[in-house]
Amino acid sequence: MNLLRTIKATLLFWCCVALATPVLAQQTNIAEQDVPPELAALAADSYADKGKAIQALIASDHPRTRTWLTTLLDGKLQRIKESGRFVIVTDNRGRDWTVIDAVDDTPLGEVSRRNIDRITINNALRNQLRSAMAVLDLDAPTVQERLASADRLLGKVDVNLAEPLAARLEAEESPAVRDKLTQALAIYQLQSGDSAAISEAIDTLSGSLNPAVRAALNGVAAGEGEAAESARQALAGIEQKLKLNRAAETLYFGLSLGSVLVLAAIGLAITFGVMGVINMAHGELIMLGAYTTWMMQQLLPGQPGLALILSIPAGFLVAAVAGIIIERSVIRFLKGRPLETLLATFGVSLILQQLVRTLVSPLNRTVVTPEWMSGSLVINEALSLTLNRLYVLGFALVVFAGIMLVMRKTRLGLEVRAVTQNRAMARSMGIRATRVDIMTFALGSGVAGLAGVALSQLTNVGPNLGQSYIIDSFMVVVFGGVGNLWGTLVAGMSLGVINQVLEPWAGAILAKIIVLVFIILFIQKRPRGLFPQKGRAAEG
């Protein structure tokens, strides 16, 4: 009996041991962790010691360095109080936090937040961590990432980062990244107190357009001595380069504005030259092209690029059909009477504006710019060209080239030129002037629709969109020469640049007044514009 009891007790003991062994093993695994000394140092009590630990971690080239520094900056690198195990908090909602092992990312389940020993940092350490991670990003695989990282280091290098940064400079292959790193180290050298090092740093930074470089040189130039004089000379050279870049930017914006004026005025130049019609509804044809772009984006939600491409033929057709309707219903009855056509087409423009307000909305609509038209083309650190304006400029030149081909290489173009130069003689040669009028008005109106498509990428679309460009378009036609396409191109680009140059110091309204006065005085000298029309009709 006693033997039986002994056997039962022994079996019960070993069963308990067997059941408890996995739990004990798991607790042992949780408690035990092979902590790298670089990670362990981050738990130092003083912030100064933590700063030294961060530098030691960077110098160690440990594969987990980036992860530890990032989680430390985000406040997710913590320790378990009882075991001292380093963990990364992945979910800190509620009382129990989900954690993983900081060394090998092993999931550890949930731990009460009361059992978490937080590793705290201050603002100085946060700045140090950001700079340290920028240094680590210099090992990124792409040049763009390394260049962005080097740019973030300008003005942020201190005594702790100088040595690892110099080491990475030696290993860097990209000239652009090397140049940026050299500037970052040169800015640091400006604060070294060594006159030779400061002089060398000023020579290195001379000519740089980066704002951080200019700020650092301004700090040196505020003092006295040979270094301050050298810094002032370097700043003077940089300021001269900045003026040239600002002039280039003004020219670019002027040409982009001029390209819009060219698109808006080509149609007027054609119709006015052929038919002698002053079409005050031309601005509303531009508006219809812009609204066509907006409507296409409503039909193709989520695909702004495709919608914009389809809007080019659609905007041309919508405006061309509207132009034919206007020509057949109003203008053909008023040929030879410019004042009546002006008043009639002004009434048509008011009707089209109210029609859009009634059918769509009196409020402005926003057309989404495709991703491939967003952003800027960076030329240097002081000059960047917005892509949407660059595309509009290229689009205007393509449309202009297309119109020139139509006018020079097609039968329609030949007939248009014949009617423009002498309508009576063209009729006597068998050219149907009425058909030419319809096609010409449709072509001019369609180009106005294309101008609206381009404008939708630069401004909001609204019922009054065309009114902002109709007067400028007439000025372009008169200044360039009625019916002359080359004159329209030159005049449009010139007026765009002149407006952009005058606006900063004269204001938008006064700039337009100055341009108008200039054109009036110019026409007194050359009544037929820059490129006068040729032919008997023009001479008469």
Where in the chain are the domains?
Answer: 33-121, 124-223, 256-378+431-535
Could you tell me the pLDDT band of residue 25, with boundaries at 50, 70 and 90?
A: very low
Query: Cβ contacts of residue 288 below 8 Å, gap of 6+?
Result: 315, 318, 319, 322, 352, 449, 452
- Give kind and range of the element (H or E) at residue 78: strand 77-80
Give me 73's structure tokens: 């900056």
Q: What is the mean pLDDT of residues 264-284?
A: 82
Could you tell me the pLDDT band of residue 140, with boundaries at 50, 70 and 90?
A: confident
Whether residue 453 is predicted with pLDDT greater than 90 in this model: the reply is yes
Whether residue 232 is predicted with pLDDT greater than 70 in this model: the reply is yes
Instruction: Lowest mean pLDDT of 4-13, 403-412, 449-458, name the range.
Output: 4-13
Whether residue 310 is predicted with pLDDT greater than 90 in this model: the reply is yes
Please tell me the predicted confidence (pLDDT) of residue 168. Answer: 81
Please tell me the predicted confidence (pLDDT) of residue 17. Answer: 43
Q: What percent of the chain has pLDDT over 90?
A: 19
Q: What is the DSSP string of 428-491?
A: HTT--HHHHHHHHHHHHHHHHHHHHHHHTTTS-B-TTTTHHHHHHHHHHHHHH-TT-HHHHHHH
CB 459 within 8 A of CB 465: yes
Whether residue 194 is predicted with pLDDT greater than 90 in this model: the reply is no
392/339: higher pLDDT: 392
Please tell me the predicted confidence (pLDDT) of residue 307. Answer: 92
Please tell me the predicted confidence (pLDDT) of residue 374. Answer: 87
CB 154 within 8 A of CB 97: no
Q: What percent of the chain has pLDDT over 70?
A: 92
Please tell me the predicted confidence (pLDDT) of residue 288. Answer: 93
Give me the sheet containing 107-112, strands edge to edge: 107-112, 96-101, 86-91, 77-80, 116-118
Please tell me the predicted confidence (pLDDT) of residue 28. Answer: 35
Global pTM value: 0.74
Please tell me the predicted confidence (pLDDT) of residue 320. Answer: 93
pLDDT tens digits, one per residue of 89-139 = 888 888 888 889 888 888 888 888 888 888 888 888 888 787 777 777 777
Could you tell me the pLDDT band of residue 534, with boundaries at 50, 70 and 90?
A: low
Please tell me the predicted confidence (pLDDT) of residue 291. Answer: 94
Please tell me the predicted confidence (pLDDT) of residue 355. Answer: 92
Please tell me the predicted confidence (pLDDT) of residue 526. Answer: 81
Q: What is the mean pLDDT of residues 343-371?
A: 89
381/241: higher pLDDT: 241
Query: Cβ contacts of residue 171 below 8 Å, gap of 6+?
Result: none
203/37: higher pLDDT: 203
Please tell me the predicted confidence (pLDDT) of residue 447. Answer: 92
Whether residue 31 is predicted with pLDDT greater than 70 in this model: the reply is no
Could you tell me the pLDDT band of residue 10, with boundaries at 50, 70 and 90?
A: low
Please tell me the predicted confidence (pLDDT) of residue 448. Answer: 92
Whether residue 364 is predicted with pLDDT greater than 90 in this model: the reply is no
Q: What is the mean pLDDT of residues 51-74?
A: 82
- Give kind and range of the element (H or E) at residue 197: helix 195-205
Q: What is the mean pLDDT of residues 318-338?
A: 87
2/231: higher pLDDT: 231
Alpha-helical (H) ranges within 337-431 are 338-359, 387-409, 411-421, 423-428
Residue 412, classified by CB atoms within 10 Å of its CB into exposed (0-12), middle (13-18) or buried (19+), is middle
Please tell me the predicted confidence (pLDDT) of residue 536. Answer: 44
- A 10 A CB-CB count for 223 gives 10
Please tell me the predicted confidence (pLDDT) of residue 240. Answer: 92
Q: What is the mean pLDDT of residues 306-334?
A: 91
Task: Count Cα neighbours of 143 within 13 Å in the Cβ-side half-sphere.
Answer: 9
Give me 324's structure tokens: 């034919």
Distance separating alpha carbons of residues 248 and 270, to the nearest angstrom = 32
Please tell me the predicted confidence (pLDDT) of residue 8. Answer: 53
Q: What is the mean pLDDT of residues 487-503?
A: 88
Name residue 469's amino acid: Y
Please tell me the predicted confidence (pLDDT) of residue 36. Answer: 80
Please tell me the predicted confidence (pLDDT) of residue 440. Answer: 86
Name residue 461's amino acid: V
Please tell me the predicted confidence (pLDDT) of residue 501. Answer: 86
Distance separating alpha carbons of residues 95 and 114, to the nearest angstrom = 8
Whether residue 23 is predicted with pLDDT greater than 50 in this model: the reply is no
